[in-house]
Amino acid sequence: MTANIIDGAAIAAELRGEVAETVRRLGENHGIKPGLAVVLVGNDPASEVYVRTKAKQTVAAGMASFEHRLPADTSEKELLALVRQLNADPRVDGILVQLPLPPQINAGKVIEAIDPAKDVDGFHPENVGRLAVGSGGIVPCTPLGCLLLLRHVRADLTGLDAVVVGRSAIVGKPMAHLLLDENCTVTTAHSRTRDLPALCRRADILVAAVGRPEMIRGDWIKPGAIVIDVGINRLPPASGDASGKGRLVGDVAFDEAREVAGAITPVPGGVGPMTIACLLSNTVEAAKRRLAGPGPKG
Ligand code: NDP
């Protein structure tokens, strides 16, 4: 058996197309243009690439993009002042502060300062809490993207055994909540889990969000399982690699896993493109909610 490859790039392009269509209608019917503000502190090269890609895709979807680049020695006070300014700016529907932040800034404090209605990353404690109680907050982009990929493979996930490897606040934990809401039976694994291979072998849905290159082997996978690989790891360049950059691999040993799984995401071209598409989607949803005005609390 060879797994179906889940084409994240194509599914993300489809989602970006739907977002662009919603943006067009919002402009035509209500005269509004959703806006996303991205804040980058310092010049971490990976963050620079993410921010550039986000800005490009925001504009391509017909939305306004506001980029704020601050020097690496920016104080927490200065960053908090910018966040308050963006909270009050009516042109801004979504605010994203690119992580990691330099050590003099407390990231938790900055996230808590973002208006939860504009927190398109879904990291504010109010949105985290809403996801936990299932009451419609903004959902973090990467796990939301994973869920959309899963739904693409199988519309109804009810009753399936799901194992999420990784318990970070940005991927593993929200992913587990989303799968529970889909009526899966969910186990969250982490570095202290006993006999991880045996646990993974029980999973109809296996989500890997570990950050360890190709840790999950083919013989850890249940035949026919759906495998979502969130990991993005760059291997050291092989000898003779002219680019000198090294290969990008996931947390799953793809060549082995595809022989066993029913469907699997590749790296790159799986979860990665979905993350940014979901960011655009969260921003347009925030704009729609703002247009509808404050609803009943709760
Ligand atoms: P974190 O480092 O925050 O979390 C990693 C998790 O994996 C932790 O819960 C850790 O357990 C667990 N873990 C580490 N080693 C093992 C092990 N040997 N066995 C079992 N569990 C283990 O990472 P993130 O969640 O932020 O990211 C995970 C991966 O996803 C990374 O490769 C990252 O680059 C990628 N990523 C990709 C995105 C995308 O858009 N595609 C977006 C975000 C992340 P413990 O809690 O016990 O330490």
Q: Per-residue pLDDT tens for 259-271?
A: 999 999 999 999 9
- The maximal CA–CA distance of the chain, rounded, in angstroms, is 62
Note if the bond before 268 is cis, omega within 30 degrees: yes
Q: How many helices (H) and strands (E) does the chain have?
A: 10, 11
Q: Which residue has the tokens 């502190």?
A: 41
Give the residue, 241 or 171, on which the prediction is more confident.
171
**DSSP letter at 66?**
E
Q: What span, in angstroms and rounded, lies between the C-alpha atoms of 127 and 120?
A: 10
Residue 104 a catalytic site member: no
pLDDT for residue 137 is more than 90: yes
Residue 93 has pLDDT above 90, yes or no: yes
pLDDT of 59 above 70? yes
Q: Ligand 1: does its nearest atom lie under 6 Å from the Cβ of 37? A: no
User: Are 278 and 147 a contacting pair, CB within 8 Å?
Assistant: no
Determine if ligand 1 sits within 6 Å of the CB of residue 268.
no
Is any ligand 1 atom within 6 A of the Cβ of residue 12? no
CA 115 – CA 87 distance, rounded (Å): 6
Other CB atoms closer than 10 Å to residue 219's CB: what's the count? 13
The residues with which 70 forms a beta bridge, in sequence order, are 41
pLDDT at 294: 76
Mean pLDDT, rounded, of the chain = 96
Report CA(149)–ligand 1 centroid distance (Å): 19
Catalytic residue among 93, 119, 121, 229: 121
Q: Which residues contact 3 (CB under 8 A, 6 or more apart)?
A: 227, 257, 258, 259, 260, 261, 262, 263, 264
Instruction: Give distance in angstroms: CA of 120 to centre of ligand 1.
Output: 21
**Any ligand 1 atom below 6 A from CB of 266:** no
Report residue 119 as tokens. 């927190």
Closest atom of ligand 1 to 250 CA is 32
pTM of the model: 0.96
User: Band of the pLDDT at 240, cuts 50, 70, 90?
Assistant: confident
Q: What three-state secondary structure class fits 107?
A: helix
CA atoms within 13 A on the CB side of 258: 11
Whether the per-residue pLDDT at 157 is higher than 50: the answer is yes
Q: Whose C-alpha lies nearest to ligand 1, atom 39?
A: 272
CA distance 58 to 49: 14
Which residue from 54, 144, 191, 252 has its CB within 8 A of the most atoms of ligand 1, so it is best to mutate? 191
* Ligand 1 binding pocket includes 167 (Cβ within 6 Å): yes
pLDDT tens-digit readout, 197-209: 999 999 999 999 9
pLDDT tops 70 at residue 26: yes
Cα(167) to centroid(ligand 1), Å: 7
Stretch 94-114: mean pLDDT: 98
Strand partners, 157: none
SS3 273: helix
Tokens found for residue 25: 């209608």
Tell which wins on pLDDT, 239 or 41.
41
User: Ligand 1: does its nearest atom lie under 6 Å from the Cβ of 176?
Assistant: no
Q: What is the band of 298 on the pLDDT scale with cuts at 50, 70, 90?
A: very low
- Ligand 1 contact via 196 beta carbon (within 6 Å): yes
For CATH 3.40.50.10860, the residue range(s) in the chain are 33-135
Which candidate in 98, 119, 222, 251 is catalytic? 98
CATH topology of domain 33-135: Rossmann fold (3.40.50)
Mean pLDDT calculated for residue range 35-63: 96
Domain 141-272: give its CATH code.
3.40.50.720
Domain with CATH 3.40.50.720 in the chain: 141-272
> Does 297 have pLDDT greater than 60?
no
Confidence of residue 1 (pLDDT cuts 50, 70, 90): confident
pLDDT at 85: 98
CA–CA dist 231, 249 (Å, integer) = 7
Exposed/middle/buried for residue 114 (C-beta within 10 Å: 0-12, 13-18, 19+): buried
Compute φ and ψ for 205, nearest 5 degrees.
-125, 125
Q: Give me the phi and psi of 161, to 5 degrees please.
A: -85, 120
